[in-house]
Copies of this chain bind each other. A is one copy, B any other.
C-alpha cells in the first residue's frame, strides 16, 4: 500500500512540458499534412494526430483544475485555445474560476453562448457571482433563470457587493446547529451530510432567529464528551465580519489570528455567509501583485502572452504621464541653457543629482506605501517619519554628495563646482524624502491607492527638482 504522492512544483512543470511536447507533435503533423496534400498520407497522419490529441485530453483530465489553469496561463494564445478545446466541458466552470482575469477573457471570447451557459450552470452562487462580470449579460440572465429562489437571492446578494468587500467574496455553505443540543446529536446530524463544505473547521451555532451565538470548532467537537451540550463547548469569542467590510482588513485578520474560516453576519448578528482562508490567500496574492504592478505604472495584471496592442493599452497611461513630467524636466533644463553653454560640465553632472534623488525617493516611497498597505502607519505619524527620512537623506547627501563633489573637482578642476554638486545632491535627497513621504500620505488621505504610479510621480519630482536645484545653484554661484 503506497501513497500516490503528488510532488507538486516538479510534477506541474513535468505536466506542462508533456503538454507542450504533445502540442508540438500535433503541430508537426499538421504542417506535414499541409505541405504534402496526398489524401493517403493525410489519412495516416491524421490517425497519429488523433492519437496525440486523445493522449493530451486524457492528461488534462487527470489534472486538478488549478493545474489546468496554470498550464493555460503558461501557453501562448493559439496553443492555449487548442488545449482549452480539449478540456471536458463539465470542468470549464471550475477552470475559468482559477485562471487570471486576463487569461479568462481570452478563454471566454473563444466560447459560444451555449458553452458558457453550460459552464456557468455548474457553479455555486458565490462562484457565479465572481464570474458574472466577465460573462455576456445574456448568459448571466439565462443561468439565473435556472436557479432556485434561494440561490438567486444569494447570487444577487453577492453581486451587489464590490470585489473588495467581504460580501463579494463570502460563500453560502453554512453548517448550522442549535446551542441546546448535545454533541452526540451534532455528530449524528453531520453523518447525514454527503460531504462538509471545504475548509469547514467550525460549525456555526445560531438561535431561532438565525442570530449567531457562537461557533463549535470541529477540533472541540472531536475531543469533547459527546454527552455535553453545544453551549458548554462552543466558543463565544468569535471573529466575525460584516458584508461591507474591506476584504483586505479581513485578510489581515485571518493572517493575524490564523483563521481557517469565519462567519459573516449582518448588523443584527444574523448569520449571512462565510469567509475561508482560501479566498484570503488568493486576495493576499492578488493584492501584492497589484501593488507591485501599480507602482511601476502598469494598469493591471497582464496576460504574459497578450497581443502587442493589448500590452500597449495596459501601459500607455503612465507612459503618457511620464512623458509630460519628462517634458517639464526638459523645460527646467531649457531655462538654464545659457549656464550650460557657459559651463558644459553641468550637462554631464546634472543627471547624477537627478538619478540618485530618484533612487533614494523610490526607496522611501516603497517603504511608506508598504507600511500604509499593511495598516502599520497612521497618517498622524507622517510627521515623525518625515523627520527620520530627512535625517537619512542629509547623511546620504553629505556622504555621497561629498564623494561626488570631490570627483567633480578632480574632473573639472573647480572646487566651487564640487561644492555646488554636494549641496545640490543633499538638497535633492531632502526633496526626495519629503515627496516620498508626502505623495503616498496625500493619496491615502484622498482615498486613492497610495501605490498607484508612485514610482513615476516620485521620479518626476526628483528629476525636475534635481535639475532646478543643481542648475540654479550653479547659475547663482558659478556664473
Cβ proximity bits A135-169 to B, threshold 8 Å, 1 near / 0 not = 00000000000000000000000000000000000
Cα distance, A295 to B289, chains bound together (Å): 13
Cα distance, A224 to B355, chains bound together (Å): 67
Cβ proximity bits A299-340 to B, threshold 8 Å, 1 near / 0 not = 000101110110110011011101101110111011001001
Given A193-B223, A330-B349, the answer on whether A371 and B304 have CB atoms closer than 8 Å is yes
Q: Does A377 contact B (CB under 8 A)?
A: yes
Name the residue of chain B whose CB is nearest to the CB of A193.
Answer: B223
Q: Which of B5, B74, B367 contacts A304 (CB 8 A)?
A: B367
Flag if A347 contacts B355 (CB, 8 Å): no
- Most chain B CB within a 10 A radius of its CB, from A223, A359, A467: A359
Given A213-B2, A292-B366, the answer on whether A351 and B463 have CB atoms closer than 8 Å is yes
Flag if A260 contacts B277 (CB, 8 Å): yes
The interface size bin for chain A is: 35 or more
Q: Which of B70, B334, B356, B459 contacts A323 (CB 8 A)?
A: B356
Flag if A254 contacts B281 (CB, 8 Å): yes
Q: Which of B213, B277, B352, B392 contacts A329 (CB 8 A)?
A: B352
Flag if B340 contacts A375 (CB, 8 Å): no
Flag if A9 contacts B249 (CB, 8 Å): yes
Q: Does A386 contact B (CB under 8 A)?
A: no
Q: Does A67 contact B (CB under 8 A)?
A: yes
**Chain B nearest Cβ from A191, distance in angstroms:** 6
Q: Does A298 contact B (CB under 8 A)?
A: yes
Within 8 A of B (CB), among A32-75: 64, 66-67, 70, 73-74
Flag if B362 contacts A73 (CB, 8 Å): no
Q: Which stretch from A85-93, A106-114, A198-206, A442-450 is at the chain B interface? A: A198-206
Flag if A362 contacts B455 (CB, 8 Å): yes
Cβ proximity bits A271-296 to B, threshold 8 Å, 1 near / 0 not = 00000011011101100110111011
Cα distance, A6 to B377, chains bound together (Å): 22
Flag if A333 contacts B351 (CB, 8 Å): yes
- Most chain B CB within a 10 A radius of its CB, from A224, A354, A355, A360: A355
Q: Does A269 contact B (CB under 8 A)?
A: yes
Chain B residues whose CB sits within 8 angstroms of the CB of A179 once the complex forms: 1
Flag if A392 contacts B257 (CB, 8 Å): no
**Chain B nearest Cβ from A126, distance in angstroms:** 14
Q: Which of B312, B355, B370 contacts A459 (CB 8 A)?
A: B355
Flag if A396 contacts B316 (CB, 8 Å): yes
Given A355-B463, A366-B293, the answer on whether A269 and B2 have CB atoms closer than 8 Å is yes
Flag if B330 contacts A296 (CB, 8 Å): no
Chain B residues whose CB sits within 8 angstroms of the CB of A6 once the complex forms: 237-240
Flag if A256 contacts B67 (CB, 8 Å): yes
Q: Which stretch from A22-30, A117-125, A214-222 is at the chain B interface? A: A214-222
Q: Does A413 contact B (CB under 8 A)?
A: no
Q: Does A407 contact B (CB under 8 A)?
A: yes
Q: Which of B305, B308, B359, B385 contacts A319 (CB 8 A)?
A: B359
Q: Which of B5, B245, B260, B377 contacts A260 (CB 8 A)?
A: B260
**Chain B nearest Cβ from A206, distance in angstroms:** 10
Q: Does A14 contact B (CB under 8 A)?
A: no
Name the residue of chain B whose CB is nearest to the CB of A315.
Answer: B363
Flag if B196 contacts A396 (CB, 8 Å): no
Q: Does A348 contact B (CB under 8 A)?
A: yes
- 6 CB contacts below 8 A, A to B, read A3-B236, A4-B236, A6-B238, A298-B363, A331-B348, A334-B345
Nearest first, the 4 closest Cβ-Cβ pairs linking A and B are A288-B288, A9-B249, A308-B391, A8-B253
With A12-B375, A280-B281, A330-B349 given, name 4 new contacts (CB 8 A).
A8-B257, A293-B367, A320-B400, A351-B463
A interface list, Cβ under 8 A from B? 1-9, 12-13, 16, 64, 66-67, 70, 73-74, 76, 179, 187, 190-191, 193-196, 198-201, 207, 212-214, 218-219, 221-225, 231, 236-242, 245-246, 249-250, 252-258, 260, 265, 269, 277-278, 280-282, 284-285, 288-289, 291-293, 295-298, 302, 304-306, 308-309, 311-312, 315-316, 318-320, 322-323, 325-327, 329-331, 333-334, 337, 340-341, 344-352, 354-356, 358-360, 362-363, 366-367, 370-371, 375-378, 381, 384-385, 388-389, 391-392, 395-396, 400, 403-404, 407, 411, 455-456, 459, 463, 467
